[in-house]
Amino acid sequence: MEGKTILTGIRVNSEMTLGNFLGALLPMTRLANKYSANNKINIFIPDLHTIISDVDGELQKNLVKEIKYYLAAGLVLNENVHIYRQSYVPAHSELCWILNCVATMGETSRMIQYKEKSHNGDQSTNVGIFDYPILMAADILLYDANYVPVGEDQFQHIELTRDIASRFNNKFGEIFVLPENTENQVKFIESANGAGGVRIRDLQNPEKKMSKSAEAENSKIMMNDDPAKVTKKIMSAQTDSLGKIAFDMFNQPGISNLLQIESLVSGVPLQDVISTWAGESHYGDLKKKVAETVSTYLSDFQAKVAEISDEEVYKILEEGERYANEVANKKLFEVQKAFKLR
């Protein structure tokens, strides 16, 4: 593959769960490293998306930390890799406004994330939560992005981006490049680690996604957890009483989740992890292995994060933002011309 643009944004939170990391940041890092010799890689911090919910006062600190996380995860920088903050590239907001005049209430109201976050359209919901996917469309379309690795809960937003872009192109000509459809996105993500659109599960309620807001401490692994904590949490993970180790998200979500975590953290393809454990029945052995894999990975990761300075991060951002403004403003100008704004 060459000449493609791969783009993603990951929202900054006070701390990331292992689920966020394995579902988004780590696969993006592996994809970037795999493709950056011959393709463009854009990684940005969607700080404007972050402010749809209360900002905890640590946004800048969190954002710097997230970039350190990419570097600690092994992201290799070269002239094709650009990292930038969304709010430092004003074209994102302006294109969002213009696309607001292309997108419909109907299609935007159908977004599952909006329905969930607004509790089915509660009237006190801020408009940013509704408009979220349109800003996301702008993030993607400004850069002619082909591949947009995201967690599966965001696939619907990429489909919406495609719909908006093709409506725009039908009216004004081929100004936007459509990102690939969900099927191709999944295949692309799989090319990094053998798993597309991964959703790491809550350790105590494996039917649910691992979430930062889960009440039980043992439900989630945080990226700054120490090895003892990690081990305790994994050893107490909920499983089932079937007594066999197999990958079956429906009947054995807890065990499947552990296999998935083992695969993603170690970089061993899921199928290989599954066959290694096939025929085994001692859940405790699997838990011990996963606990070891994850705690070793995390202590190494945390040590690397501690070594990266803020100055290094800001230098990377400044270069990225110079590049991003140049590319984005060019695209925005074409769009403005289409609407006779220029």
Interface with ligand TRP (CB under 6 A), residue total 13
Pick the stretch among 5-13, 75-83, 298-306, 319-327 that binds ligand TRP (CB under 6 A): 5-13
Task: Closer to ligand TRP by CB, 59 or 246: give it.
Answer: 59
Under rule CB under 6 A, residue 19 binds ligand TRP? no
Cα 271 to chain centroid, rounded: 23
Residue 74, Cβ neighbours under 10 Å: how many? 13
Q: How far apart are CA 125 and CA 337, in angstroms?
A: 34
For residue 235, CA distances in Å to 181, 244, 316 come to 39, 17, 39
The DSSP element (H or E) to which 81 belongs, if any, is strand 81-85
The DSSP element (H or E) to which 32 belongs, if any, is helix 26-35
Pick the stretch among 28-36, 118-126, 134-142, 297-305 that binds ligand TRP (CB under 6 A): 134-142
Which residues neighbour 210 within 8 Å (Cβ) at sequence distance 6 or greater? 17, 18, 19, 200, 201, 202, 203, 219, 220, 221
Closest CB 110 distance from ligand TRP, rounded Å: 16
Under rule CB under 6 A, residue 263 binds ligand TRP? no
| Burial bucket for residue 284 (CB in 10 Å: 0-12, 13-18, 19+) | exposed
Under rule CB under 6 A, residue 148 binds ligand TRP? yes
Under rule CB under 6 A, residue 131 binds ligand TRP? no
Beta-sheet pairing, 5-9 with 81-85: unpaired
Under rule CB under 6 A, residue 50 binds ligand TRP? no
Residues involved in catalysis:
117, 209, 212
Task: Closer to ligand TRP by CB, 115 or 171: give it.
Answer: 115
> Which of residues 4, 49, 82, 209 is near ligand TRP by CB under 6 A?
49
Q: Minimal CA–CA distance to 8: which of 79, 88, 74, 83?
A: 83
Under rule CB under 6 A, residue 179 binds ligand TRP? no
Task: Closer to ligand TRP by CB, 66 or 139: give it.
Answer: 139
> Which of residues 139, 180, 225, 321 is near ligand TRP by CB under 6 A?
139
Residue nearest to ligand TRP (CB): 9
Task: Closer to ligand TRP by CB, 20 or 219: give it.
Answer: 20
Q: Minimal CA–CA distance to 50: which of 63, 68, 64, 67?
A: 63
Closest CB 49 distance from ligand TRP, rounded Å: 5
Asked if 244 contacts 234 with a C-beta cutoff of 8 angstroms, the reply is: no
Under rule CB under 6 A, residue 43 binds ligand TRP? no
Under rule CB under 6 A, residue 265 binds ligand TRP? no
Task: Closer to ligand TRP by CB, 50 or 257: give it.
Answer: 50
Q: How far apart are CA 29 and CA 159, in angstroms?
A: 23
Q: Which residues bind ligand TRP (CB under 6 A)?
A: 7-11, 46, 49, 136, 139-140, 148, 150, 154
